[in-house]
Structure 1
Amino acid sequence: MSTVTHLNPPTLHANPAFTQAVKVEGPGTLLLIGGQNGVDATGAVVGDDAGAQAAQALRNVELAVEAAGGTFADVVKTTILITDRSAIGPGFGAFQRIWGGRPNPPAVTVQIVAGLANPAFLVEVEAVAAL
């Protein structure tokens, strides 16, 4: 089991939506989850808005972590790629619903990109989990 320490030093901006840095030490497994889009198990795009796609992409991250024997609470880093700046709010809203009231959210990076692999994709989420 790894020791996970969430670092929010007072010298950096404090934001309850994400952790500035996450340190993983000791024996354990690091799970790297490739970019997940808002698609269901058949590969069909779920919803035509960023909120619905972000919720599905995050659910896909959760399913990948569970397949490795963990839970969404084991996620220590996410990178969220979005195609439209106005999707930041719906994307974070989806994350906050899935994360719930747990303390110590993961470190988060949000990038606005010109496009994703499929023009119907509005959001992509990759993650790292410490199991």
Structure 2
Amino acid sequence: MSEFKMKHNNPEGLFSSKVFTQMITVSGNAKTIYIGGQNAVNENGELVGQDDLELQTRQTLKNIGVILASEHASFKNLIKLNIYLLNGCDPRVGLEAFQEYAGEMKNPPLITVLFVAGLARPGCLIEIDGIAAVENDK
């Protein structure tokens, strides 16, 4: 049985950031977790942080944390995040909340940020989907 390996790489010739990684490869016995679009809706179906990107980002990250924990994973297992922000939102506010919530990551995930005209749930300013990988149970 091969060993699970996740390699973070910023190839020479590309910008190297402490916030995101340019490329990640996963090999061996790994389980991939696909995270559907998460927003600032709490477990009761209520929108958290009306008109407040920081509060909405924190709730969205909390939701992602719950998903990851359900598979014995954490933010360090993230490979890719797609972040959708409502036009006019300041991505720096969301980034600050992400860094505070996820902590300093030795190997941050790949991140793509997109500005959109609207999201499916009225009042939502942010939605995040992603991919994570963990070693398969033995």
Q: CA deviation at 1:10?
A: 2.2
Matched with 2:49 is 47
Detail structure 1 runs of 4+ shifted over 6 Å in the superposition: none
**Equivalent residues in 2 for 1:9-28, closer than 5 Å:** 9-28=11-30
TM-score, length-scaled by structure 2: 0.89
| Contact 2:89–2:125 (8 Å) recurs in 1 | no
Which of 21, 38, 56 pairs up with 2:59? 56
Matched with 1:114 is 117
**Equivalent residues in 2 for 1:48-87, closer than 5 Å:** 48=50, 49-87=52-90
Inter-partner Cα distance in structure 1 for 2:58 and 2:123? 15
Inter-partner Cα distance in structure 2 for 1:68 and 1:85? 35
Q: CA deviation at 1:16?
A: 1.3
| Contact 1:37–1:121 (8 Å) recurs in 2 | yes
Residue correspondences, number? 131
Q: CA deviation at 1:130?
A: 0.5
Larger radius of gyration: 2
| Contact 1:2–1:130 (8 Å) recurs in 2 | no
Q: Which letter does structure 2 place at the counterpart of 1:19?
A: T
Per-residue CA distance 1:87-129 (angstroms, 9 max, x = gap): 3011111110122123011010000001000220100011111
Identity %: 35
> Where does the alignment leave 5 or more consecutive residues of structure 1 unmatched?
none
Q: Which letter does structure 1 place at the counterpart of 2:98?
A: F
CA distance change for structure 1 residues 85 and 9 in 2, over 3 Å: closer, same or farther? Answer: farther
Inter-partner Cα distance in structure 2 for 1:85 and 1:23? 34
Q: How well do the aligned residues superpose, as a CA RMSD in angstroms?
A: 1.2
Inter-partner Cα distance in structure 2 for 1:118 and 1:109? 21
| Contact 2:77–2:133 (8 Å) recurs in 1 | yes
